[in-house]
Amino acid sequence: MRLNLPTTLLVFSLLFALAAAWEKLDHEIFELYDDIKRNEVTTDWYELLGVEAKSPVSELNRAYRQLSKKYHPDKLGKLPGKKSESEKKRFQRITLAVNILRDPEMRKRYNFFRKNGVPVWRGTGYLYRRWRPGFGTVVVGLLVFVSGMQYLFHSLSFWRARQRIEEIEEEERANEGKLKVRRGDQSVQQNNRRLRRQQKTATGPTANSEDSGFEGEDLAARQINTVGVINPYSVQPASINRVVIVSLPVWIANSVMVALGLRAAPVVVDSRDVDSVDDDASDTDNAQEIVRQAIENAANPPEPTAKQQAVDPEVAAKKAAKKAAKVEARRRRMPKV
């Protein structure tokens, strides 16, 4: 049976109310019950005192006086040390049991637990007073809790990243079909260049044209829309080695070994530095290729063609400048991929 959210909250509220319902005197009964259970043959306090469950207080006092003659510390002077200490603790338990049974309200509470049983879960306050965890236990517990939450977060992140990758792949397949249709439309338009120019003159250039002809528009839009979002391809699957309870001791051990000189310090390389080195290397290769071609042209200048000889140098320079301006304007209009 699956529980919905309201039912789950109701169950937790009832459990919390039951745990908080135990009062201080209930905790005293629990502690004495556990002590008697560990050291005595029976857990029934009436049987321990040798009286009936319905005995009045006077009967309890009479039984207590009889037991005092046997287990009182003043009567145990001749017993060995260990046995004397054991009998003293037993007399303390008997005294506590009698004091609880003398009080009508506490006796009523004990009779309730005697009939229905002592609860196993007695609240966090009782557990804290019972065991009192130290600093190390608290730290280890926090590390285990944080590591569990961290592993759960990594698992959810990896699951969501896989979903995002599937969405991106489906979007890419859909965009490939759109690009094929767009390329077919462009080939038809190129067969009638005059009609295309007339349409461009009549409508004028539009900045947000749907069929601008650039294949990188969709990709550029996706890049703009995903700025600041975690790349799903970079999300790693959940691993025990990445949680803090494992990674923290490993990091401390490595730091100590580096400080003692037993291990070399790891070199951290920035990805931006790697990209800049690659760009510098490519620029250097291009520059060397240009210099080599210039040296070859200077050593063996190519013979000018008849068309080049007939063209005026000034006209050629103007054409080259105009062509460069067109290329630069086209480059600025193109979206960055």
Q: Give me the sign of the Cα torsion angle 190, 192, 194, 200.
A: negative
The domain spans of the chain are 5-132, 133-238
Fold type of domain 5-132:
Helix Hairpins (1.10.287)
* 236 DSSP assignment: P
Contact 245, 143 (CB under 8 A): yes
Q: In tens digits, what is the pLDDT along the chain, a chain of 337 residues? A: 444 555 665 665 555 555 444 567 777 888 888 889 888 888 899 998 999 988 999 999 999 998 888 877 776 666 566 667 788 888 889 999 999 999 999 899 899 888 888 776 665 555 555 555 678 888 888 899 999 999 999 999 888 888 888 888 888 888 877 766 665 555 555 555 555 665 555 555 544 444 444 444 444 444 444 444 567 777 788 888 889 889 998 999 988 888 888 877 776 655 555 455 555 556 666 666 776 777 776 666 666 665 555 556 777 777 878 888 887 777 776 655 4
Burial label for 99, CB within 10 Å (0-12, 13-18, 19+), is: middle
DSSP run (H or E) holding 224 = helix 217-225
Tokens coding 49? 């005192």
Supply the pTM of this predicted model: 0.38
Tokens coding 158? 């990896």
Residue 209: name the closest of 225, 223, 194, 189 by CA: 189
Amino acid residing at 1 = M
Distances (CA, A) of 60 to 31, 49, 50, 101, 237: 21, 8, 9, 8, 68
Measured distance CA(155)–CA(237) in Å, rounded: 7
